[in-house]
């Protein structure tokens, strides 16, 4: 019996780094498919020997789980934001922070392609209570991520893979150029893999997409959305009437509060719609 952690998954095969630092490539038992459970990168697993080959026999309880990208047991999600090409969409960014906070994954920001817009946008999220870096602060980013399990998340073309290569010299992961015609990046990252950081911990590059998906996302109650806007915390319970939705009611303490308020309204509407679909 061996214990370890899945660091890569490709076409039904899993790379597991065992507690003794041995790397084993193996399959998962068929019973997981019957239970509709898929091992994923970041899972802590138990391996047993079967016909001279190791198989994944057990998956430890997950602290959190993203369906897309398929990752488990993250400490933080590094939201990589470009100030220009591709242009940042604050609703997309705020949706990411809500989903990560709901899963108890700490959102942290790295801004790339720096200009005044990037500085202004970073100030919004710093004022909201998030840790923010820019891509000139590599030493600080390394220090922050040391000992943690993280994932670089964001649209294609924002510079995730370039950031990963800078964090881990010699990794030489493939980087893609921006498609000028489409105004977005080509999807160069096809798989999810945890890479070891020099100061300890792991980080993953992920395929580019505008949001992440969790099993629970459709189940976030609309009335709980405000809890995931951390700058609203001092206002919780201060509305004039109970059951306030913070959408402009009389006596609402949240009305027009902060530069992310419009994102709150949009995400609340999404959660309300999701409730009717589940």
CATH number, domain at 12?
2.40.50.140
Domain-located, residue 48: yes
What CATH number is associated with residue 96? Answer: 3.40.50.300
Greater confidence (254 vs 39) lies with 39
HSE-up of 252 (CA within 13 Å, CB side)? 15
* 7 occurs within a structural domain: yes
Burial (0-12, 13-18, 19+ Cβ within 10 Å), 125? buried
Average pLDDT, the chain: 85
pLDDT-wise least confident of 20-24, 197-201, 207-211: 207-211
Distance of alpha carbon 166 from alpha carbon 198, whole angstroms: 12
Domain limits for position 157? 65-205
Would you say residue 114 has pLDDT above 50?
yes
pLDDT at 30: 81
Note whether residue 212 is domain-resident.
Answer: no
- Whole-prediction pTM: 0.86
Both 119 and 182 in one domain: the answer is yes
How far is Cα of residue 69 from the mean position of the Cα atoms in its chain? Answer: 8
Q: For 236-246, how does the pLDDT look when each residue is reduced to its tens digit (9 = 90+)?
A: 999 999 889 99
Is the same domain home to 69 and 164?
yes
Asked if 266 and 91 count as a contact pair (C-beta separation under 8 A), the reply is yes
What pLDDT, in 10s, does the model give residues 149-197? Answer: 999 998 777 888 888 989 998 887 544 443 344 344 444 445 788 999 9
Query: At 214, is the pLDDT very low, low, confident or very high (cuts 50, 70, 90)?
Result: low
Tell whether 32 and 87 lie within a shared domain: no
Instruction: Give 72's pLDDT tier (boundaries 50, 70, 90).
Output: very high
pLDDT top residue among 170 and 97: 97
At 220 the pLDDT is 84
The HSE-up count of residue 199 (CA atoms within 13 Å, CB side) is 13
- Residues 126, 6 within the same domain: no
Residues 79 and 117 in one domain: yes
Query: Is 215 part of any domain?
Result: no
The pLDDT of residue 185: 43
DSSP assignment of 118-156, as one string? HHHHHHHHHHTT-EEEETT-HHHHHHHHTT-EEEEE--T
pLDDT at 186: 45
* pLDDT category of residue 105 using cuts at 50, 70 and 90: very high
Residues 135 and 246 in one domain: no
Output the six-digit token pair for 198: 């020099």
Residue 209's pLDDT band, with cuts at 50, 70 and 90, is low
Are 37 and 13 contained in the same domain? Answer: yes
* Residues 139, 18 share a domain: no
Is residue 92 pLDDT above 80, yes or no?
Answer: yes
Name 202's bridge partners: 149, 196
Q: Which of 205, 240, 265 is the last residue of a domain?
A: 205
- In the chain, the number of structural domains is 3
Q: Whole-angstrom Cα distance, residue 273 to residue 30?
A: 36
- End residue of a domain, out of 205, 239, 266: 205
The two three-digit tokens of residue 250, written as one number: 């009389």
């Amino acid at each position: 019996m061996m214990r370890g952690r899945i660091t890569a998954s490709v076409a039904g095969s899993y790379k597991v780094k065992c507690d003794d630092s041995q790397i084993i490539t193996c399959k998962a038992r068929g019973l997981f498919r019957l239970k509709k459970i898929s091992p994923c990168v970041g899972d802590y697993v138990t391996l047993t020997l079967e016909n001279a080959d190791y198989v994944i026999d057990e998956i430890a309880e997950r602290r959190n789980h993203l369906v897309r990208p398929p990752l488990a047991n993250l400490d933080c999600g590094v939201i990589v934001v470009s100030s220009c090409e591709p242009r940042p969409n604050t609703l997309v960014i705020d949706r990411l922070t809500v989903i990560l906070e709901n899963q108890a994954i700490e959102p942290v920001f790295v801004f790339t392609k720096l200009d005044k817009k990037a500085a202004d946008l970073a100030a919004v999220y710093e004022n909201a209570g998030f840790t923010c870096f820019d891509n000139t602060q590599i030493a600080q980013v390394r220090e922050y991520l040391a000992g943690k399990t993280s994932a670089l998340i964001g649209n294609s073309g924002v510079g995730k893979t370039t950031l990963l290569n800078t964090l881990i010299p010699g990794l030489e992961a493939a980087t893609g150029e921006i498609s000028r015609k489409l105004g977005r990046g080509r999807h160069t990252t096809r798989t999810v893999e945890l890479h070891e950081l020099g100061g300890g911990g792991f980080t993953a590059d992920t395929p580019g997409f505008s949001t992440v998906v969790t099993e629970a996302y459709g189940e976030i109650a609309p009335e709980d959305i405000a809890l995931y806007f951390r700058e609203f915390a001092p206002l919780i319970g201060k509305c004039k009437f109970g059951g306030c939705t913070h959408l402009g009611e009389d006596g609402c303490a949240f009305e027009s509060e902060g530069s992310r308020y419009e994102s709150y309204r949009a995400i609340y509407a999404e959660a309300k719609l999701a409730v009717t679909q589940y």
